[in-house]
Amino acid sequence: MAEHAVNYVIIVGPQGAGKGTQAAAVAPRLGLEHVATGDLFRAILKSESELGDEVRHYYDQGALVPDDLTIRVLFAHIEQLQEEKRGTTGVLLDGFPRNAAQAKSLDDALAERGEAISAVVLVDVPRPELMKRLTGRLVCSNCGATYHREFNPPKSAETCDQCGGELFQRSDDTPEAVEKRLEIYYEQTEPILEHYREQGVLLEIDGNREIDSVTADILDSLKDRVSA
């Protein structure tokens, strides 16, 4: 990672708002590494380890993985990136922080390094739309690309347009788990946005439009916030 300017950008929003979809589109254009805690956990689930069993217990129900484990997994990943990817300008965090304790751990970790959050992009979508988006989602088992049966369909219903990998439905995209995940968002995640609003780093984007229009708005809102 570039030593002179490390940008920490957060993308936040309710489940299904399009955080992963938008992060995949904007991160490469801004020279940021897309780091999604959900993706880190899905990789751990695939590994069929003891850690995978522990994560599955929370993940499949739509519950949060305990903070200490989440923070350990995330910071180990960021440190590994910092060693390997010296050409990037920073990190786009997707799915972290999700509660007050995680927000504090991030503030503390950045303060220790003399760094700060450059921007927090809130992609907001009304709640009734979110269930439709999540129960129709398809994800590539190989490259992680995200589709929707109706709103962003792949050319073939079973394979990824980008890499030909098999598409699957996420185990936490059942109506029961989605309800639980949304409850957690409105109870624990939404309240931490005030903290970022007070710091003047919160950028609010209307996510209830075409995917490309949302991408254009995010790039525009970040143009003076992310240094190359």
User: Which one of the listed residues 56, 104, 132, 170 is annotated catalytic?
Assistant: 170
The reply to whether 181 belongs to the active site is: yes
Binding-site member from 6, 9, 10, 15 for ligand AP5 (CB under 6 A) = 15
Which of these segments, 20-28, 108-116, 188-196, 206-214, binds Mg ion (CB under 5 A)?
Answer: 20-28
The least distance separating ligand AP5 from the CB of residue 203, rounded to whole angstroms, comes to: 16
Q: Is 16 in the site for ligand AP5 (CB under 6 A)?
A: yes
Active site residue 155: no
Is 113 one of the annotated active-site residues of the chain?
no
Closer residue to ligand AP5 (CB): 12 or 201:
12
- Torsion sign across C-alpha atoms 210, 216, 217, 222: positive
Q: Is 148 in the site for ligand AP5 (CB under 6 A)?
A: yes
103 touches, from Mg ion, ligand AP5, none (C-beta below 5 to 8 Å by class): none
The Cα 28–Cα 12 span in angstroms is: 18
| Residue whose tokens read 């780091």 | 35
Residues that contact Mg ion, how many (by CB under 5 A): 1
Q: How far apart are CA 175 and CA 40, in angstroms?
A: 23
* Residue 65 near ligand AP5 by CB under 6 A: yes
Report in angstroms how near the CB of residue 53 gets to Mg ion at its nearest. 22
**Residues binding ligand AP5 (CB under 6 A):** 13, 15-21, 36-38, 41, 58-59, 62-65, 70, 95-96, 98, 102, 133-134, 136-137, 146-148, 151-152, 172, 181, 207, 211, 214
**Residues binding Mg ion (CB under 5 A):** 20
- Catalytically active residues are 19, 98, 137, 170, 181
